[in-house]
Amino acid sequence: MNSSADTYATPVDLRRAVRARRYTAQTSGQCRGYTQGNLAVLPRDLAEDFRRYCEANPKPCPIIGMSAPGDPRVPRLGQDLDIRTDLPSYCVWRDGEYQGDVDDLHALWRDDLVAFVIGCSFSFEEALMADGIRLRHIEAGKNVAMWRTNRETSAVGPFGGPLIVSMRPIREDEVERAIAITGRFPDVHGAPVHIGDPHAIGITDINRPDFGDSVDILPGEVPVFWACGVTPQSAIRRARPPLAITHKPGCMLVTDVRNDELAVAA
């Protein structure tokens, strides 16, 4: 029986459980040591502009894998991986409008679709925890909190829109360590983009995230904001493609790539 408390050690086991619908929850805290990715699927005629948009906005949109048109596989991220089945939940968009969630993509998949896998901040969370920095959303079994900001990304072709951020409360005396640790992972969003006052980046209510779950900020803690891989969803809404598919926030693709493979020298 599926539960958000179910924990899988290896990506292969988790992906098999997802395919069989034994696991349908968000993936934060799953498969410690392995890289997780956000998903964006677009028609081939928009894929090149989207790729260039991601390259122009590497903090929120670091591409870690890309499929050939019509191919649901991304072999460099996992030999048995199938984009159509291996995420717990997908969002469907038509002409920029959200149409609802689906469990798999078999009914929607086409020969012209290109899948982009974008680095996810879930991956650097392991490094933070290994250094003794507590992450309350993981301890509570919650999804990370995410907001739209007043910062615009660099537009390319039809793609553009606001930067989306995720937030983790960090103790004041641990903020510098958190910056240094996450800065070693540029392929999964890297160092924070903002620290402190949420109003400065257009967040009016820190207790009401646009996506994910609210977490308390305790005395002695500071809200720390990282660029988030949900950002491409705003860009896709602005581009209004006839069909697009993204991950449901928090429901990532768990790959066979180890997090330490993405780390750069301190």
Q: Which two tokens stand for residue 195?
A: 């620290």
Please state which of the four CATH numbers 3.30.2040.10, 3.30.1330.10, 3.30.750.24, 3.30.300.30 is assigned to the domain occupying 122-227.
Answer: 3.30.2040.10
pLDDT tens string 134-177 = 998 888 888 889 999 999 999 999 999 999 999 999 999 999 99
Q: Which two tokens stand for residue 75?
A: 């072999």
What 3-state DSSP class applies to 253? strand
> Is the pLDDT score of 33 beyond 70?
yes
Distance of alpha carbon 110 from the chain centroid: 24
What's the average model confidence in pLDDT over 67-72? 97
> Is the pLDDT score of 4 beyond 60?
no
Which pLDDT score, from 0 to 100, does residue 266 have?
54
Contacts of 78 (CB under 8 A, 6+ apart): 11, 12, 15, 255, 256, 257
pLDDT band (50, 70, 90) for residue 260: confident
